[in-house]
Amino acid sequence: MRPFQDGDDLRRIDPAATARSGRPQVRSRHEEVEHTPLLVADFRPPMLWGTRGRFRSVAAAEALAVEGWRAVLAGGRVGAMLVTGSAIEMMAPRPRETAMLRAAGAFSRAHAAALDAPEAGYDSLAVLLEAISARAAPGTAVKIATGLDAPGADFGRAAAALMQKCPLELLLIRDSVEATPPTGRFAARICGRITRGRFGTSASADHLAARCIPHRIVNAADPVLPEAA
């Protein structure tokens, strides 16, 4: 039993539970909730860069789109959460192809807004995980596409709390220089300033593995393709 969400089948509203709570309640089987992924796109300022193929933020949107279409074609519903430097937009789960078309349009609009404000302030991933835990229905399969930038001091605790409520998987977006960093010093624009420094191998995957957080690496330079049927 859970609160009614936009896109739910009206025939599943439970009259007795609705009368007791004072707001519409729907009854659904656990496996139905598990087939309702929440696609979380990290479009915070640290994601808005890339050295080969595409921005990490674009690779994140493409990877989530593949996950969403796979769920819709299997008969599930799809919800989305779009995170920029200034806002979090939540889209309630909906069924059928129209849900993914709606989500794809939202990805595009949110990404354009993020590019217009690349130096905006932003919250840590720990704050984002807490927002997901507060909004997602129990059992919802949460899929977050992120580069794991600015995880926050409470990231491990927040991830553990979310995993107690929902299945969690991180699509770890990795740029080419994070996998095979070049030698030498380079100039980069960071937070409005030109900074010189060296690239280093990303330890994000090790960070997730140490906390037993399920994850898959998505290389931003590679095409994001659906699995063969």
142-161 per-position pLDDT tens digit: 999 999 999 999 999 999 99
Report the alpha-carbon distance of residue 118 to residue 163 in Å, rounded: 31
pLDDT value at residue 96: 84
58-67, 136-145, 179-188, 213-222: least confident range: 179-188
Question: pLDDT tier at 39 (50, 70, 90 boundaries)?
Answer: very high
Among the residues of the chain, which ranges form H helices? 15-21, 30-34, 56-73, 96-116, 125-135, 155-165, 176-179, 204-210
pLDDT value at residue 89: 92
Task: List pLDDT tens digits, range 61-96.
Answer: 999 999 999 999 888 889 999 999 878 999 988 888
Diameter over CA atoms, the chain: 68
